[in-house]
Structure 1
Amino acid sequence: MVDSATMAQRCWRKIWATGIAVLGFFTCLLHSGQGYAQEEGFQKIQALEDSLAKLGYTMYNEPSEPERLEANFTFVKTLVSALKVPHSYTFPFDSLDMVSILDAPDDRFRIFSWHIPLNDGSYLYYGAIQLHTSDGSLKLYPLLDKTYEITEPEQAVTTPDHWYGAQYYRIVALNSAYVLLGWKGYTPYVTQKVIEVLRLTESGAQLGQPIFDDAEGNKPARAIYRYSRNASMYLDYDTTENRIVFDHLAPADQRQQGQYEQYGPDLTYDAWQLANGRLVLISEVPFMNPPSSNDNRFNDPTKPQNHPKSGFDMQ
């Protein structure tokens, strides 16, 4: 005979096991539902990405400037629609060759940047910072190119809606900040490379920070290098030495000081050493066989008289 206590224990075990099974069943349903929803969302993004790729081709190949700008306007709206899909942060957009997409080293955000060529040889720059959210919702900081409104770009500390536009190709963590390396066309004769500093705060994002220590004791908020459009400048992060190495620029004739269309590499290298949350300039560093520049991928711009407005339309 089985006593009542044993019977009770068996009943509780059965109830417990059944409860576990039911809980597991509903958990499976929940996860499979989430997985299905995410897969469905990615299919929607994939369809939008196909449209983005076609628009991107028009943006760079259509002879008519108004049509290029219209394609870019539609591109921005379509990209925002894609990013609004839950968990879009994990979608790579790897078919958008015309857009630079960089992931932060700590996976806290990613940054989109690209440019639009105009008939006068200038560019408009576009970009956005997408934060990695825990629930998959969209948190986005549009970057609005205000290049020609920033009178002292080396000193300016700005917000994303007042951006010194560039197309970024490298991102490096520096304590609580991030260092962005970018290419920037400027005039028909002068190209730029930019070292930008990005900091994320509770209230938003900040661009530029006076953490550069140069040889003259200056502390600019960003570093900007100007050189001839016919030259190529190397500027990239050296992982082995934890520093940003770059060509030292100089004019061919010392009487041309300040005439940046005459500047080019002089076969020596300088570096910004990353240390203690700052960038410290080191002159004449040894550096052998640097990789070739990507400048030839771009056309250099001219400064327009009436620059069209740029930026993300979030509506």
Structure 2
Amino acid sequence: MRMKSLIASVVSVMAGSLMFAQVDINGGPINNPSPNVIDGVYIQQHIPTKRMIPYEHVREADVIWSNRVWRAIDMREKINHSMYFPFDEYDADNNWVRHATRWSLWTVIKTHVLNGDLTVYSPYNPLAFFIKDGDSFKYPIVPPPGKNYYTDSLFRDQLFYYLGTLGPESDLPLVDIYGDDSLDINGNYVYPPRDTNWVLSKDVVQYRVKEDWFFDKERSVMDVRILGLCPVTYDTDPNTGSISGMKELFWLYFPQCRFVFNNYFVFNTHNDAQWFSFDDLFWKRQFNSTIYKESNVYDRKVETYKAGIDALYESQRITENMRIIEHDVWDF
């Protein structure tokens, strides 16, 4: 009996220690913000500690049909607000302040890009900006082995152009701004530094997705695999602030993103006890999107031959064609 009591005491102590231990997987927000404090009834540790579900293996010989499409996920749509959540800002000391419990998809992406866990692929050829084929993952921006944004200055300078922009240049004479202080020790004018405008969650208005739809005859299913993910902002003039279009920041290889997305919560509007992960959100297709391009001989986007409501109809037509093909496979 004494041995059983001793074992029970040890188990209870271990359980109590686990309850008040701070679970911090991938650096994401948890409901155990401080020692001996639980913001809720229990520690929400299933998502931060769960293992990623691997994709089913697919042989080339088993794929009897395939189609590649590119989608745009608009953050203005209510169903997509689970990814949005503009709850991060920079304070007066230029420190990145993130929400304590809920992170947007951009917050997760930026955190792990800075840490070096996610590889950024340039949306254009760094040597020829007019060649925009970055969705093929041809131009990786990688730090030296063992380095990241915080520890390598060269990588930090390269990555800045994909995470932020420089503010407008001053149109006032330097003497009007600084007076005599605008001269260096050699008597030369020193230009004032331009402000740094970091991309925040509220600035990401769209995510673009590259995916392959295919029919696997071995499993007899129509399946889809997301290959790439791209955050998009408005392309604005730094001097006037006018919007000239959309700007792709960079592409991410989605199979690599799954290892990160798998351990971050997504808000569930129907049940606070059943929050799922960002990987679950993409796996279960819990978002709304429109097709802006499909594989074609001209490699052209829908907007080049359709406009307005006709472009939406074209997106629906492409989706319906894939459904018809799946239906025809089973039509004997």
TM-score clears 0.5: no
Report which of the two structures shows the higher radius of gyration computed on alpha carbons: 1
Higher relative contact order, chain-length normalized (CA < 8 Å, sep 6+): 2
TM-score by length of 2: 0.31
- Flag the structure with higher strand content: 1
